[in-house]
Amino acid sequence: MSKKELPVLQPAAAACCSPLAREPLTETDAAALAPIFKALADPVRLRLFSLIASFDGGQACVCDLTGEFDVSQPTISHHLRVLREARLVDSERRGTWVYYWVMPDALARLSTLLAPVAS
């Protein structure tokens, strides 16, 4: 497994949200973003998200993820399902293994929201 920094994606011109420091979130934006932050609020899920993003090629086999945690495989599967439902990661079955990758639009949305406002 390779450790590398996550690239900061440049948001599209019509990004969903303004940075928090510039203006408050709308009720709609807050409702859309809350499940994403809820999914990342668990330490195991946050680590899973980070591990998946840091793999060479941007994809990680579930077999590479389970050994990193002191929890059972069904628990890892549950956390991966929560990340998928929050649209933070996606997956594909290849033979007997499932491969996961971080959804680029999720990173762009979070980075747009959390980006510091230029002075």
Domain range annotation of the chain: 27-112
Contact 45, 79 (CB under 8 A): yes
Token pair for residue 72? Answer: 């059972």
Q: Would you say 65 and 74 are in contact if contact means Cβ atoms under 8 Å apart?
A: no
pLDDT at 18 exceeding the cut of 90: no
pLDDT band per the 50, 70, 90 thresholds, residue 1: very low
Q: Give Cα 64 distance to the centre of its chain.
A: 17
User: What is the CATH number assigned to the segment(s) 27-112?
Assistant: 1.10.10.10
**Angle, CA of 88, 5 and 23, to the nearest 5°:** 60
Name the helix (H) or strand (E) containing 77.
Answer: helix 73-85
State which amino acid sits at residue 103: M
Cα 11 from Cα 105, distance rounded (Å): 9
Q: Could you report the per-residue pLDDT of 54-110, keeping only the tens digit for each?
A: 988 889 998 888 888 999 989 999 999 999 999 999 999 999 999 999 998 888 888
* Per-residue pLDDT tens over the stretch 34-49: 999 999 999 999 999 9
